[in-house]
Chain A
Amino acid sequence: MNRIVVGAHYGLQDWLAQRVTAVVMALYTLFMLVAVPLGAGSYESWRGLMAHGLVRFATFLFIVSLCYHAWIGVRDIWMDYIKPTTVRLIMHVLTLLVLIGYAGWAIQIIWRL
């Protein structure tokens, strides 16, 4: 039997995570396509929409999903095109760090409303 041993077996988990986060973001997008036109216009109504408990909950999930999704996607790009291990590792770490920072930044924007 020919068996090729590859990877650290994170493939399926990442594949699934990429899909789950995509579905969360797609649902949020459809929801916001309806909600934003209702909230847009004045500062008060827009802020009121984003500060609503349910919207805040959904936006939080969207931000977490986005950052996780972007991590897998951007990491795959580095994996495909950057051959030297050191450079690739540096790019992986930098990507991870900026995404964690973006998540914190975006979450505190909606959380302090």
Chain B
Amino acid sequence: MNALTKKRPKYLNLFEIKLPLAGFASILHRVSGAGLFLMLPLLIWLLELSVSSPASFETFKAVTGHPLVKLILLGLIWSYLHHFCMGIRILLIDVHVGVEKAQAHASAKAVLAVSLALTALFGLKLFGAY
């Protein structure tokens, strides 16, 4: 049978199949990337405010001091960190480090945990805890 027409086994009942942890971390890589892309105008605008003039620097401080903006920034911090950690995992797998099932599961768990822990660390700084 031609490879093009060969029926592949498919079982995509979403109530029956379970996404592995690595798959969950992987889809979050995509979600975080999309979020960062959508918020790029905000981030570039903040960069512009922060460096342009002493007056715009004050505006930068006022804008980033707003609780709603802080919440968005917290989401972006998590997105960046998750994307960063997951990216390192992808690069390691590219060079055949951690390809085995158990290691891949452990590294996916590590990515989720490390990015959340670092988000908490930066988040506390963002909300002025230290």
Contact = CB atoms under 8 A, between A and B. Distances in A.
Interface of A: 2, 4, 19, 22-23, 26, 29, 43, 46-47, 50-51, 70, 73-74, 77, 102, 105-106, 109-110, 113
B130 interface: no
Interface of B: 2-4, 30, 33-34, 36-37, 40-41, 44, 47-48, 50-52, 54, 57, 84, 87-88, 91, 94
A35 B88 CA distance: 22
Contacts of A73: 30, 33, 37
B44 A106 contact: yes
A19 B90 CA distance: 9
A105 B48 CA distance: 9
B51 A113 contact: yes
Q: Which of B3, B40, B57 has the most CB of A within 10 A?
A: B40
B37 A22 contact: no
Contacts of B33: 70, 73-74, 77
Given A50-B51, A74-B34, A106-B47, A29 B84 contact: yes
Contacts of B44: 102, 105-106, 109
Contacts of B30: 73, 77
Nearest to A22: B87
Contacts of A23: 91
A14 B41 CA distance: 24
Question: Which of A2, A19, A43 has its CB near the most chain B CB atoms (within 10 A)?
Answer: A43
Contacts of A50: 51
Contact of B57 (A4, A22, A46, A109): A46
B37 A74 contact: yes
A19 B91 CA distance: 7
